[in-house]
Amino acid sequence: MSVPEKSTDEKRSRVLATLRTYRSMPFLELTSVCNIDDKELEEIVEDLAVKKLVKIINPGDLTEEIVTVREQAFAANVSSLLKEI
């Protein structure tokens, strides 16, 4: 019996919670910590960047990319941020 896949909202929440704890993290480390595959995490991070919740340093180079949480992500709790997304 397989484990059901977590929803995208749960994964976004996990990414934001992780970044709120560590503030900044290399992309590949974030995939490991959040247990999300590269492609899906890339989509989540790009979506969060459009919403101005994270900043991406060295975009496009996954081995050098760093994701940093912006101050807006600290202003409210994760669930209320996800409702806006």
Give the helix, strand, coil percentages of the chain, each rounded to 5: 55, 15, 30
Q: What is the pTM of this model?
A: 0.79
Q: What is the pLDDT of residues 31-81, one digit of tens each?
A: 999 999 999 999 999 999 998 999 999 998 888 999 999 887 776 555 555
Inform me whether the pLDDT recorded for 4 exceeds 50: no
pLDDT score at 83: 58
Closest CA to 48 of 3, 14, 2, 5: 14
Which of the following CATH numbers is that of domain 8-78: 1.10.10.10, 3.20.20.70, 3.40.50.620, 3.30.1340.30? 1.10.10.10
Which has more pLDDT, 43 or 4?
43
In this prediction, residue 76 carries a pLDDT of: 57
